[in-house]
Amino acid sequence: MVEIDCRGLSCPEPVIKTKKTLKDNPEGLDVLVDDRAARENVPRYAEAVGYKASVSEEGGGWRVKIRK
């Protein structure tokens, strides 16, 4: 599974990177974020385009798992 590290980035950059990466990896990916807005917006975007998203705490931030 593809993983992108968006820690240290503020919204909307994690959402933009998620969108671009999903185009090349339509089966899904994991996104690492440490920004509260990104923690809310990345799963919201994924669900809006038809994916399932789950969020878990990891290393002072969050892992957003996005799957078909």
Domain 2-67 bears CATH identifier 3.30.110.40: yes
pTM exceeding the 0.85 threshold for the entire prediction: yes
Give the pairing of strands 28-33 and 2-5. Answer: parallel
Q: What is the pLDDT along the chain (68 residues), one digit of tens a residue?
A: 899 999 999 999 999 999 999 999 999 999 999 999 999 999 999 999 999 999 999 989 999 999 99
Q: Kindly state the tokens that stand for 22.
A: 């999903």
Element at 50 (helix H, strand E): none
Answer for the pair 16, 42: CB distance below 8 angstroms, yes or no.
Answer: no
